[in-house]
Structure 1
Amino acid sequence: MIAVVGHADLTAPTLAMLEEELYWRLAEFARAGRAGLVRAGRGLPVAFGRAARAAGVALVTVLPSRNGVPEVLESCDRRAAGELLLLSEHVRLLEYDPSDRDACVGADESVLGSCARLLAVWDGSPSTRRDATAHLVAFARASGIEVEILWPEGAGRMAPNEETS
């Protein structure tokens, strides 16, 4: 499987660029008959899901759960999760609290454990309390997962005070 992680605060033009870039990278993966894996959320996960569908890659979406029952996502992620479910061929439930940053990082680490390759949309910045992309890249590399960094020319992140809906 191939997974994607990256900054949650990517600008809309960056997401549009990435969706096209991801399509071309996933088209190669589709020929091998492999699946894409993403944890439900807005922004990059949706761009990845759309690119996977367009490229013919089976998509697996990971949803948070508690005691085997899907958890309610934050309101800003619900519409994105709904779209991902429509794009997905399979859904995995994973026990974690979607409102807890550390639990989300743990969920991402768990997801990466079943992947051979990681596409990381990362500008090279260190991890912070809000963003664990650098940590996940290091985790994947330490786990022997092939990592490909994507940061297209002109890519950008929203200013800290911009809305990330």
Structure 2
Amino acid sequence: MIAVVGHANLTPDTLELVETALRERVQSLSKGATGLVRTGAGLPVVFGRVLRDVGRRLVLLLPAQDSVPALVPPGDQVATGELLTLAEQVQLLPYDPLNRNACVSADEHLISTCGRLLAVWDGSPSDGRDATAHLVAYARTRGIPVEVVWPPGAAREEAA
């Protein structure tokens, strides 16, 4: 199982660059390789599309409350709908999608269940909003191979 995490504020042009880079990496994986993402807009959808296009499986983690799928934030609802159509399997994970710390814990769970991590990361440290550096360190301390994906020309949107 291969998981993907990364910055949420990637520019539209960067998402296109990342899609190409992910496609190259996923095509080199065995035919039975499965991808794992936590639902959300941007990177999870790009990864799901790449997996479908190259004939690999997608497992989607959805937030749950009391063993029932939880509502996702309005900005992630369309993406979640698309991911549900791309996924071959959906797993419920208890976490609050509106709580940053709960989302980081969900990503840690995602990482701990995979054998490899693709991190769409510019190398910047974690801050109060973005935990990508933390997730890379989390994977590395557990011996999970991490491949950083940051294509030339990639950029993040400026914080509001």
- Tell me the TM-score normalized by structure 1: 0.95
Inter-partner Cα distance in structure 2 for 1:66 and 1:134: 28
Inter-partner Cα distance in structure 2 for 1:28 and 1:123: 23
Residue 30 of structure 1, CA deviation: 4.0
Alignment correspondent of 1:113: 112
Inter-partner Cα distance in structure 1 for 2:43 and 2:33: 20
- In structure 2, relative to structure 1, the CA distance for the partners of 1:99 and 1:117 (3 Å cut) is same
Structure 1 SS opposite 2:50: helix
Alignment correspondent of 2:23: 23
Alignment correspondent of 2:76: 77
Inter-partner Cα distance in structure 2 for 1:30 and 1:14: 26
Structure 2 SS opposite 1:79: helix
Alignment correspondent of 2:5: 5
Alignment correspondent of 1:34: 33
Specify the code of the residue in structure 2 equivalent to 1:17: L
Equivalent positions of 1:14-163 (< 5 A) are 14-31=14-31, 33-161=32-160
Residue 55 of structure 1, CA deviation: 1.3
Structure 1 SS opposite 2:138: helix
Equivalences, count: 160
Inter-partner Cα distance in structure 1 for 2:18 and 2:33: 20
Specify the code of the residue in structure 2 equivalent to 1:3: A
- In structure 2, relative to structure 1, the CA distance for the partners of 1:52 and 1:30 (3 Å cut) is farther
- Tell me the TM-score normalized by structure 2: 0.98
Unaligned runs of 5+ residues in structure 1 are: none
Deviations 1:13-46 (A, max 9, x none): 0001111211121112243x12000000001111
State percent identity of aligned pairs: 56
Inter-partner Cα distance in structure 2 for 1:12 and 1:95: 30
Inter-partner Cα distance in structure 1 for 2:30 and 2:153: 27
